[in-house]
């Protein structure tokens, strides 16, 4: 039969060992806090380790900023007789704010494009993906032609009255394609800030009951929902920029912004970029 004296000796030894280990660990931790070891020096000919640059600080260390734009006539600048559009105004405002060169590296926007046109064009042009991968900032508008079709069906066959349901019926499929565009853009430009410019109501003055307002807001809500899936995509609201002074900021075609309207959009974009 085992002796109980042996059992107590074993338990005591284990307890003593545990106490010594705890004391050593505590002493080591205190020593590291009071006297931390210096970071290892770089070997001769080897670059010293550099702290990682936070993503939000990335623009601060860049020598220049590259903009790539995709989308429809708003991104192309239709309606601005000076030819700048909001993309050109963003370039100028960012240069002033950052104090460094800002280049419009590529503008792939084509007037009249709908969501399916953009997707089709993207499939046909390999340089779109390549350019997006080299961008620091991506600017995009798309969807206005999907909803309004240049006014087709919006005012009925006789051109009288306002029929917002014609635009509302186009939202589900167009919003689905917008989601595909955002997915592609985020994947192609994972390190860029991507801004999608939301829609305003270009026919607000011809819509006294504001029946089309919920339709435009429904589109913008769908854009917010799609953008929320990607950490580098932000939606830029524009509805309020035109709501109270529509004719002041629209071009004579009653659809596109004029130079002042584009500058307002650019100002909103630069404010959001911080």
* pLDDT 10s digits, 43-79: 444 444 444 444 445 788 889 999 999 999 999 999 9
Assign residue 125 the CATH number of its domain.
3.40.50.1110
CA distances for 271 relative to 16, 90, 123, angstroms: 65, 10, 33
Asked whether residue 28 is domain-assigned, the answer is no
pTM of the model: 0.78
Asked whether residue 30 is domain-assigned, the answer is no
Asked whether residue 52 is domain-assigned, the answer is no
Asked whether residue 39 is domain-assigned, the answer is no
Asked whether residue 182 is domain-assigned, the answer is yes
250 DSSP assignment: B
119 phi/psi in degrees, rounded to 5: -65, -40
Number of domains in the chain: 1
The CA distance from 89 to 36, in Å, is 51
* pLDDT 10s digits, 165-182: 888 999 999 999 999 999
pLDDT bin (cut points 50, 70, 90) of residue 151 is low
Helix axes 259-273, 85-98, angle to 10 degrees: 40
Q: Which domain holds residue 96?
A: 62-273
The CA distance from 258 to 78, in Å, is 8
Asked whether residue 43 is domain-assigned, the answer is no
The pair of structure tokens assigned to 219 is: 């589109």
The CA distance from 264 to 258, in Å, is 10
């Amino acid at each position: 039969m085992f002796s109980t004296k042996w059992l107590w000796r074993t338990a005591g030894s284990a307890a003593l060992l545990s106490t010594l280990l705890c004391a050593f660990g505590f002493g080591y931790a205190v020593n590291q806090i009071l006297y931390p070891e210096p970071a290892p020096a770089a070997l001769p000919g080897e670059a010293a380790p550099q702290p990682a640059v936070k993503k939000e600080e990335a623009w601060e260390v860049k020598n220049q900023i590259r903009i790539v734009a995709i989308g429809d006539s708003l991104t192309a600048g239709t309606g601005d007789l000076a030819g700048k559009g909001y993309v050109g105004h963003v370039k100028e405002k960012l240069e002033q704010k950052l104090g460094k060169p800002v280049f419009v590296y590529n503008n792939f926007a084509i007037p009249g494009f709908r969501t399916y046109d953009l997707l089709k064009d993207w499939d046909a042009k390999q340089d779109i993906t390549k350019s997006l991968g080299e961008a620091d900032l991506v600017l995009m508008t798309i969807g206005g032609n999907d909803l309004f079709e240049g006014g087709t069906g919006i005012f009925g066959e006789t051109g009288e009255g306002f029929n917002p349901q014609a635009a509302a019926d186009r939202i589900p499929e167009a919003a689905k394609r917008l989601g595909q565009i955002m997915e592609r853009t985020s994947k192609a430009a994972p390190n860029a800030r991507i801004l999608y410019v939301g829609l305003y109501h270009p026919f607000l003055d011809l819509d006294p009951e504001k029946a089309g307002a919920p339709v435009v807001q429904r589109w913008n809500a769908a854009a917010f929902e799609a953008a929320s899936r990607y950490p580098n995509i932000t939606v830029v609201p524009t509805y309020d920029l035109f709501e109270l002074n529509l004719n002041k900021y629209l071009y004579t075609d009653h659809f596109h912004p004029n130079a002042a309207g584009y500058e307002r959009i650019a100002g909103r974009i630069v404010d959001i970029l911080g």
